[in-house]
Amino acid sequence: MADERAGGTSGGWRAEGRRVLAVAWKDLLSEGRARANLLSVILFAGTALLLFAFAFGPDAQDLRDAGAGVIWLTILLSGILIFNRSYQVELEGGALEALLTYPGSRRAIFLGKLLANLVLVLVVESVVLPLAAVLFHVPLLEALPGVAGIVLAGTFGFVALGTFYAAISSRSRARDVLLPLLLFPMLVPLLLAAVQGTTAYLEGDAMGYGGGWLRLILAFDVIFFTAAYWAFDHVIGE
Amino acid sequence: MTGDSSFPPPLKLEGIAHRFGRRWILRGLDLQLDPGQVVAMIGANGAGKTTLLRIAATLLRPLRGRGWVGGASLLENSDRVRTMIGILGHSPALYEDLTPVENLRFCLQMQGDPGDRGRILAILDEVGLTDFAHVRVRRFSTGMRRRVAVGRVLASLPHLLLMDEPYASLDPEGVELVNGTIQRVVDEGGGVLLATHDLRSGAGLTDRVVTLDRGLLREGDGRQPAHGRTDSSPTRADSSSPTTRGQLA
């Protein structure tokens, strides 16, 4: 045993893939068991949409104009709650240190958490988008392929950066305040592109701007994901 | 059992120094564990025992000094080091909403093992939790949580086992379980570094006692002169002595 362990390696891509899936499965299972957490995020998102609808209403055109911005603002605020929670699970029983002493690249932890957070944010979005369509009179069904592309691409970049910054803020006592402070400024370009792209598709994209915004968001995705992936090892280490 | 020089030592530290803020916690200490050796480390609260364990576990990079686990450098080959270490800390490091089976499966999968159900159930049987295999850890007592944590160590049987107050909150049966785990690691040629205030519980297994004091390690339990092995240190060699046990009690 000792020799095998002493000479052992942490495995190749397949082993890394197993670690990524193990972290994602564990996070999703924990969230699934503690249903109250996800439900409270969904409830928060619904309440935020409702309040925004009252604030911008009752004129249907005003509501439509504000729709894309409100959708992304709601996704942003709900996502913050999810990202903070994803590291809270590790801190509760001192599990983070055990997690960091497992063999293999610590980037597998990042990828696993990214995957789990992506699923959770998409679950929230699956409630936010139809609700926003009703409350803000936005033609979601007609614009669905374009809006879905913008939402998926925007969500990936948002979750990649959120998962990364949540790791940085997780060991701080003021993590609930620190995460938005770190994350919001970095997200501004992505959010602007996402809001503009969503607006373009919701308005029928007569000028064909939607594709351009989508490409810009994908470029942000690549930059955010690459930077977070390579830097994660350093921020989670100590 | 101890001192087999044909294998690299499970742990070797040279000149390890670390500070938090302006206060140096560790001041260039050396320590070597030979294969099959159990070293108990004692020291006052805040002396730096946990810091030293965290450095050996690659969780903290020392500001000065070097170290090796099974011949792999803590600083340059930390990934390989992590394939050889196991930790039993004072917090059980479990996921509250998962069952023991799920916790152990996660642990095995993170080590590159598929997490075979039969193997997991065998480990739970060993730690006496078969009847609670599918109950969420959130509902467990502190002692039961520690048993799951011991199961996690058994699942990997590390080359170097780092323990931080492993006997806290354990009943006599639990103490026996921890000692059985230490024995398993030692039997396989591994080493154990045990930070504890409870020297009696591990008395039959400990080869050496070292005291961490003002950032440096001294042989013995601190009640004797700084050099040489102490006669009253409770070690595997002399723990059978009623006099020694009496002195400690």
DSSP-assigned letters across all residues of A117-159: HHHHHHHHHHHHHHHHHHHTT--TTTTHHHHHHHHHHHHHHHH
Q: Is residue A149 part of a domain?
A: yes
Instruction: Read off the pLDDT of residues B160-190 as tens digits, 9 standing for 90 and up.
Output: 999 998 888 778 888 888 999 999 999 989 9
Domain containing A119 equals 12-237
Say what the pLDDT of residue A123 is. Answer: 96
Q: Is residue A54 part of a domain?
A: yes
Alpha-carbon gap, residue B205 to A94, rounded angstroms: 27
Q: Is the dihedral of CA B18, B19, B20, B21 positive or negative?
A: negative
Does residue B235 register a pLDDT over 80? no
Residue to test with chain B: of A101, A102, A107, most B Cβ within 10 A: A101
Nearest to A93 among B87, B94, B156 (CB): B94
> B191-195 and B160-164: which strand pairing?
parallel
The contact set of A with B (CB < 8 A) is 1-3, 5-6, 8-11, 15, 18-19, 21-23, 25-26, 29-30, 33-34, 89, 92-95, 97-105, 237-238
A119: Cα separation from own chain's centroid: 8
pLDDT in tens, B53-66: 999 999 999 999 99
- A contacts of B102 (beta carbons < 8 Å): 26, 29
Residues of A whose CB is below 8 A from B109: 18-19, 21-22
Whether the pLDDT of residue B121 is over 90: the answer is: yes
Selecting from B57, B114, B136 the residue whose C-beta is nearest the C-beta of A101 gives: B57
Chain B nearest C-alpha distance from A172 (Å)? 16
Query: Contact at 8 Å (CB) between B124 and B100?
Result: yes
Strand partners, B41: B195, B210
Please give the pLDDT value at position B228. 35
pLDDT confidence of residue A11: 61
Domain tally, chain A: 1
**pLDDT above 50: residue A203:** yes
What is the identity of the amino acid at B92?
P
CB B228 within 8 A of CB B219: yes
The whole-number average pLDDT for the span A15-20 is 89
Residues of chain B with pLDDT > 90, as a percent, come to: 52
Look at residue A66 and tell me if it is in a domain: yes
Note the pLDDT tens digit of each residue in A154-195: 999 999 999 999 999 887 878 788 888 999 999 999 999 999
Distance CA A6, CA B82 (A): 10
A5 pLDDT above the threshold of 60: no
**What pLDDT sits at residue A26?**
94
Residue A76 lies in a domain: yes
Average pLDDT of the segment spanning A79-86 = 91
**Tokens 């007609």, residue located:** A142
Identify whether A225 is part of a domain: yes
Quickly state the pLDDT bin for B239 (edges 50, 70, 90).
very low
> Distance between CA A181 and CA A97 in Å, rounded?
25
Q: How far is residue B132's CA from residue B130's CA, in Å, rounded to a whole number?
A: 5
The pair of structure tokens assigned to B42 is 């004692």
What pLDDT is stored for residue A10 in this prediction? Answer: 55
Q: End-to-end CA distance of chain B: give it in Å, rounded.
A: 28
pLDDT band at B95 (very low <50, low <70, confident <90, very high): very high
Q: Does the distance separating the beta carbons of B97 and A102 come in below 8 Å?
A: no
Interface test with A, best of B83, B99, B161 (most A CBs within 10 A): B83
Q: Does B1 or B167 have the greater pLDDT score?
A: B167
Cα of A6 to nearest chain B Cα, Å:
6
The torsion of the CA quartet B116, B122, B128, B133, rounded to 10 degrees, works out to 30
Rounded-to-integer distance, Cα B184 and Cα A71, Å = 57
Using the predicted structure, report yes or no on whether residue B233 has a pLDDT greater than 50: no
What proportion of chain A, given as a percentage, has pLDDT over 70? Answer: 95
pLDDT, position A176:
80
When scoring A3, A4, A5 by the number of chain B Cβ atoms within 10 A, the one with the most, hence best to mutate, is: A5
pTM reported for the whole predicted model: 0.84
Mean pLDDT for the stretch of residues A114-118 = 96
pLDDT averaged over every residue in chain A: 88
Nearest to B106 among A22, A101, A104 (CB): A22
Q: How far apart are CA A15 and CA A39, in angstroms?
A: 33
H-type helices in B57-165, by residue range?
A: 78-82, 100-110, 117-126, 142-156
Q: Which helix (H) or strand (E) holds B52?
A: helix B49-56
A108, part of any domain: yes
- Gap from A95 CA to chain B (nearest CA, Å): 4
Flag whether A2 is in a domain: no
- Our CA angle for A1, B73, B149, nearest 5°, is 50
**What pLDDT shows up at residue B248?**
32
How confident is the model at residue A116, as a pLDDT? Answer: 96
Would residue A4 count as lying in a domain? no
Mean pLDDT of chain B: 83
Flag whether pLDDT at A134 surpasses 70.
yes
d(CA A54, nearest CA chain B) in Å: 38
Whether the pLDDT of residue B209 is over 80: the answer is: yes
Nearest residue of chain A to residue B159 (CA atoms): A2
Query: Environment class of residue A122 by beta-carbon count within 10 Å: exposed (0-12), middle (13-18) or buried (19+)?
Result: middle
Top-confidence residue, A94 or B223: A94
Across A208-217, B142-151, B168-177, B222-231, least confident range: B222-231
CA distances from A169 to A80, A177, A218 (A): 12, 9, 26
